[in-house]
Amino acid sequence: MNDHFPQRPLRQAVLLALTLLAGACTPVEALWTPADTPRDVTVERAESAAWLPATRNRLAPADTAQLRRLIEELGEPPRTRVTIALPTGAEQHQAVPVVRALAGFGVDPANITVARQLGGDAGPVRGIAVTAELYAAVPPRCPDWRRTVMDDNSFRPSSNFGCANANNLAVMLADPGDLAAPRRLGPADGAAQEAAVDRYKTNKVTPLKASSTVLTGASQQ
């Protein structure tokens, strides 16, 4: 009997079968979970700051050069967001030469915000704080094929699901800063908008102007 069924090969076959069975019973969660492959687009922020005197209505050459270095340090003026913080006691018009200089260096005026410095104390004027920010979108680490749809019968998506969408979002953003904070609204005429709503509610909507189409040449035939 032992000549036909040797014990050693039998033991090896049994051990191999047990090993395969144990591997098949390993839960998928032990191999991969959705938390192992985040799909969030990371937004990185770079900042550069400068202080300018607040007692002048015109920028000195040294101040203009300082603003130029501030913008060139970040490297992408059209996407740079700048905040001009005026100190207590400074007039709003003192930010005008700063805005003009920044626009001359390629900064979009729509990305320039004029605000007041925090604190509110009536102490001596310290100066105008100019802060420039630039955001960059970093896509997630893709692809990730550690788990496919054939790994188990739980009907969960593969580990690479959503990778293309996240990468496309990261590369399509005109300004990645929009993911970090919304842009400020532009000027609006509240009175005109209110009047339009009132006309709609009272059924007095202004009709469209009459128009006509005139056919000329071969189009008349």
Selection from 11-25, 65-79, 122-136, 201-215 with the highest mean pLDDT: 65-79
User: Looking at the domain 45-133, which fold is it?
Assistant: 60s Ribosomal Protein L30; Chain: A; (3.30.1330)
The tokens of 96 are what?
């005008």
Q: What is the pTM of this model?
A: 0.62
Which pLDDT score is estimated for 69?
A: 93
* Distance from chain centroid for Cα 118: 26
Which pLDDT score is estimated for 124?
A: 44
Closest Cα partner for 128 from 99, 85, 170, 93?
85
DSSP secondary structure, 53-87, as one string: -SS-SS--HHHHHHHHHHHHHHS-GGG-EEEEEEP
% of the chain surpassing 70 pLDDT = 73
- Say if CB 53 and CB 127 are below 8 A apart: yes
The count of C-alpha atoms lying within 13 angstroms of the C-alpha of 170, restricted to the half-sphere facing its C-beta, is 19
Average pLDDT, the chain: 79
Residue 41's contacts (CB-CB under 8 Å, 6 or more residues apart) are 137, 138, 139, 140, 166, 169, 170, 179
Residue 115's contacts (CB-CB under 8 Å, 6 or more residues apart) are 83, 84, 85, 86
pLDDT band at 145 (very low <50, low <70, confident <90, very high): confident
Q: Average pLDDT of 198-209?
A: 89
The domains of the chain are located at 45-133
Which pLDDT score is estimated for 110?
A: 87
Residue 159 has pLDDT above 60, yes or no: yes
92-97: list long-range contacts, CB under 8 Å, 24+ apart.
93/57, 94/54, 94/56, 94/57, 94/128, 95/128, 97/57, 97/58, 97/59
| CA distance linking residue 112 with residue 156, whole number of Å | 46
Q: Name the residue type at position 193.
A: Q
**What backbone torsions phi and psi does residue 109 show, to the nearest 5 degrees?**
-55, -25
Report pLDDT digits (tens) over 66-122: 999 999 999 899 989 999 998 887 888 889 999 999 999 999 998 898 988 876 554
| CA distance linking residue 23 with residue 25, whole number of Å | 5
